[in-house]
Structure 1
Amino acid sequence: MDDQPLIRAGLASLIRAAPGLDVVAEASDGVEAVALAARTRPDVVLMDIRMPGMSGVTATEHILAAPVRPKPRVLILTTLDLDEYVYTALQAGACGFLLKDTPPERLIAAIATVSAEDVLLAPAVTRRLIETYARRSPGPAATAGLTARENEVLRLVARGLSNGAIAAGLVLSEATVKTHVSRIMAKLGLGSRAQVVVFAYESRLVTPREPR
């Protein structure tokens, strides 16, 4: 979804040429993006952050609020890696973001990855963005419903660790970690791994100064 026809056409051609991927719709603005997502039920939405009419952030909120399952994975496209609009989109449930100068092979790999599983794209970059803007949040949120182990896993997810890395560090199976992450998201009403990271920083469970 991009308001610039040339960029949109280039992305569509690139994706169609990749094995196992296809383009089900193209939108020129946020309003059209929301309507087409509801109609075509895509697995992944590439969303430009700044579009006329309805922004990519608002379009993301509408798409992820729709009562459909499974929900699409939204990848934000941006020109800046430290962008408050991107942070707001991650709060809304986008699973990650990509810079518009991302090499084609990395873009295709990112689409395939988020389509297959819930992961945090570019953990170090995403965490840096969240650290920058989470300082403005109002303060701790309730996590009383989480077990001690779930709080532990939550903090590790917030530091950008994959399920495999968490499993190795806690001496658990990867399947067990995946179950913990799913339960954390369900209990806290979160829809993506990026939202888990945002929540952890905004709740002060993890802070930028906390040693890794």
Structure 2
Amino acid sequence: MSPPLLAPNPLLLIGGGAGSGKTTLARTLATHLPGAGLIHLDDCFHADTYSAPTVPRLDGPGRVIDFSDPRSLDPAKIDAALTLHADSALTIVEGTFALTLATSTSTSTSASTSTSTGPRPRWRVFVDTPPDIRVIRKTLRKLAEGRDPRPGLLAHAHSSRSHARYVEPTRTSPIWYSTASSPPAPSRRRSRPS
């Protein structure tokens, strides 16, 4: 089970597969919604292999953290990020496993703000994109960042199974569902013959 989310302010959870467009949507919303805080769950994973599920390294001996398993999320890091954004009008939590996180509507985990706040609205968004487009986007993003895309491509079979196990079931729970398979085509105006 994923860690509970305890926050004094409204939460918008944005989940979906890697490369589906969650981060782009979250950044756009945070930019256009005054007072919104943004948490990227990619920043909230455990940092050592002793605290999280692991998989064999694909580029040599040893094991690495299995980032395709929600149990690799570090509840302390999530709590710290929520505390950092406790004064935000809205906190946007974005990540592959955002919709797997349990939510609480009554109190904050921060000692400085641990008062009962009553029910807070929660919104859940699932961003969907076909698997082949997600793989292409993720590969292009890693290349643009100067990172080697081979480990992700080699682990694709494993991450596909994890997607089916952890991410796919969350598509039935959101209140808003988006298919972000490609950007909208620019409109073309035709001139009528005179």
Question: Could you state the TM-score of these two structures normalised by the residue count of structure 1?
Answer: 0.23
More strand by share: 2
Larger Cα-atom Rg: 2
More helix by share: 1
Question: Could you state the TM-score of these two structures normalised by the residue count of structure 2?
Answer: 0.24
